[in-house]
Structure 1
């Protein structure tokens, strides 16, 4: 056995050990944060109770992931999140394979460590989101693409099509990867486009996506309309300030050392472009950042919208440092990232010690706090009115309470007298079949004027309060609405 083989095995063992330690940390942390699901996570959980080929705002990937995760680990907080949390270590493994193919074992090892400790992936790794599957399939697609370019075998091109199809079922943003790949072939491997193999890969990807396209067609394209609305029609914010905020968030999401190296790669773009490997990695990172930057200029953009682009970009940054024998800078940058992540993870405990009266205001997890307590308080009210349908006038309350009352499985509907399907629950629930029945309204505001004419009587039952700290609470009113008369 050669020395290089021994070193390779040792590095893989070390990588597995670090991955296991980081995962154990996150799995231990979750139940100790004092949180429940975020609203999007709760909504995705309700999707998973009724598997379909599409949903109002997303394709079905995240719902299928939660369905499988809860089937394996239960419907508790960790059970809902478990498989999503595993996506990022798997993406790190894909980046290891990419870096090993492009560079060597050393760059592969440190690239995987960088992905595992990157602030954005560490933060997203605590939650269920479409970014988890998208990031994984983005990295896997690049690995499969490199294999296909090297071997030109039907199997590798079909593998690429499979991965891209699954990526599209996770989030339509995967189309940006396909666009980048086409342009890359057009620019550097044009003869490949004369072969049927890459086109077969595209055909397979579209075939995998086709059930979602059919679903959209039969439901009047709600997902496509929603996607277009948030990307094309949103008018708030925008401008250079919004763009600056977005790129500042991207730098923080990299961490100071890797973020600065990536900026340097862009500043020295001619030098970067002369290196075939760096150019390829940037080719599959920059288009997504350009698209999201345009969105930030137009209105606003969340920091995670370009999350998959970090995977190839981090490899490029790590390789740049190692090629220049700046391993100390790399280790220092990874250490800073890990310390920063640890501070964010344990910030609630820090606040509780330093400023206990304002824990909620300063807590980065506060949007996921208090909902479980409201659910516990609401449960006996629902049990006391078993024939009443649970009604909410906003998506947030309905998503959270359906999850928190999952043992009761109450009949539920969104309040929607206009009939406009502006969210998932307005698309999939309908109060009209409950004509003549009572309803339990949960709301964080007083019932609007459109309620009184549609019920025989409105009776306030309770105001529920879930304390968040010494001075703040999450509140919800419960009303009994007698004898629904119809919209």
Structure 2
């Protein structure tokens, strides 16, 4: 570490770059091969096969990354490349923010370690929109600080561009924008009167406009998505649970970000501290998921590290003891929760460690109940088994009938995993009536479907009455997978009633999303 700090003094950009490199490489090295991709990752990868200006779940920026990933072969390395890239860039921006706030190499190292050993280790491992959101929020706050120091119009135009991309990434950016505007109204009203502010706002809107037009032309499906989230997941989020998670997720850096928040609120940069306060207030009132707030913390880490360095500079004796201690403390605290930060431990070992983590709330799933494994871990198991068994079942069909075979799944994770692991095989795409798969339904052949491979975790017992024959040809047996017990059923010659029902169900689901 002393070597890194030396080079940090020689060149300000070196240490942030080194921390970014550590972030990128560690994401690949600190993972167990026992885990596969996450349920959501399969859905987002499928976007790359169906480029559009919008989807029922999120805006289109993730789809562009998926398209590039699949064009490069779709291997695990390229899937993980994007979240690790965004996480590495976030670490770099945090380091530069420390320097903007007057911190030296020690403060950069403290802020960097706080980020590397926090909840971002897991967040930046999953191919989801969250990693880019954290980067975007951090960059905006960093450029706000730059604008305070040097009120040049380019900073506001740059902020507008990043916010436009954030809106193309995830709709929760709207809450951040509300918090930002509220903070500016309270502290920097003169910025709102500048031409550059409105130019930046226009740029953000211009970038978001294609997706906004898509939303309007499709009946604003984001409303139905939010209603589904509220009824199935957010309803289980309590205020106490939300704030407990804020402390747990950022525990190794608690004294850093809290100091950063206080320091910002008492500084010329209090607008940044108020963005955090406004954003967390909105998420609390709306029962947002705990990780929705992670984009608000990195800039606090930068401010807190800079404050600690300046505070210790005025107390040189104390500083000689506390400087190494403060760098070592995040490492020591993270050792106990290391299996939660990185997928180091295989499922059996994680199961044995479950009791240790239960009080932290990390075993509580979106249904509000505790389970043996953290939900993310259970969502990274059993998918290859499902895909391979679906391929085997398809291969067992008569060659002449394979063109009249439909693969229909109960949820987007099942469909996406089958498509991902069979992407180099001659298997028709798996489909679902779940989410954006509603747009990608295949056209039935003129003679109708002869075979249907049904993948379901809760199959309807009455289905057998609507087929000439229905039998089980596979099942997910991975004991640790959330999809354990999901069955693969082969149905032969579905009757008219079932075919009509499927068509009506498809139309009903589309109508619920506002598509008619």
Residue 250 of structure 1: aligned partner: 246
Please identify, of 76-85 and 201-210, the stretch whose mean Cα deviation from structure 2 is larger: 76-85
Does residue 28 (structure 1) correspond to residue 29 (structure 2)? The answer is yes
Deviations 1:123-161 (A, max 9, x none): 112111111110111111222333344444443332221
Residue 286 of structure 1: aligned partner: 277
Residue 383 of structure 2: aligned partner: 371
Change (3 A) 1:144 1:458: farther
Alignment counterpart, residue 303 of structure 1, candidates 279, 290, 297: 290
Does residue 339 (structure 1) correspond to residue 339 (structure 2)? The answer is no
Residue 511 of structure 2: aligned partner: none
Residue 267 of structure 2: aligned partner: 275
Does residue 208 (structure 1) correspond to residue 200 (structure 2)? The answer is no
CA RMSD of aligned residues (A): 3.4
* TM-score where L is the length of structure 2: 0.79
Work out the CA distance in 1 between the residues paired with 2:347 and 2:441: 42
Change (3 A) 1:354 1:128: closer
1:325-364 to 2 correspondence within 5 Å? 325=312, 326-340=322-336, 342-344=338-340, 345=342, 348-349=345-346, 351-352=348-349, 361-362=372-373
1:396-435 to 2 correspondence within 5 Å? 396-408=413-425, 410-412=427-429, 414=431, 416=433, 423-429=435-441
Work out the CA distance in 1 between the residues paired with 2:407 and 2:243: 42
* TM-score where L is the length of structure 1: 0.83
Whether the 8 Å contact between 1:56 and 1:427 is mirrored in structure 2 is no
SS of the residue corresponding to residue 368 of structure 1 reads: coil
SS of the residue corresponding to residue 220 of structure 1 reads: coil
Work out the CA distance in 2 between the residues paired with 1:287 and 1:54: 28
Q: CA deviation at 1:340?
A: 4.2
Whether the 8 Å contact between 2:20 and 2:89 is mirrored in structure 1 is no
Q: CA deviation at 1:53?
A: 1.0
Aligned residues: 461
Q: CA deviation at 1:220?
A: 1.6
Structure of greater relative contact order (alpha carbons < 8 Å, 6+ residues apart): 2
Deviations 1:214-264 (A, max 9, x none): 1112222113431354358967335xxx222221211121124x2245456
Q: CA deviation at 1:22?
A: 4.0
Work out the CA distance in 2 between the residues paired with 1:483 and 1:232: 33
Residue 9 of structure 1: aligned partner: 10
Whether the 8 Å contact between 1:123 and 1:341 is mirrored in structure 2 is no
Change (3 A) 1:21 1:272: closer
In structure 2, stretches of 5+ residues that fail to align are 313-321, 356-370, 501-516
Residue 157 of structure 2: aligned partner: 158
Residue 133 of structure 2: aligned partner: 134
Work out the CA distance in 2 between the residues paired with 1:353 and 1:457: 45
Work out the CA distance in 1 between the residues paired with 2:426 and 2:274: 48
Change (3 A) 1:155 1:180: same
Residue 49 of structure 1: aligned partner: 49
Residue 317 of structure 1: aligned partner: 304
SS of the residue corresponding to residue 167 of structure 1 reads: helix
Does residue 61 (structure 1) correspond to residue 66 (structure 2)? The answer is no
Q: CA deviation at 1:272?
A: 6.0
Whether the 8 Å contact between 2:48 and 2:70 is mirrored in structure 1 is no
Q: CA deviation at 1:318?
A: 2.1
In structure 1, stretches of 5+ residues that fail to align are 417-421
Whether the 8 Å contact between 1:26 and 1:126 is mirrored in structure 2 is yes
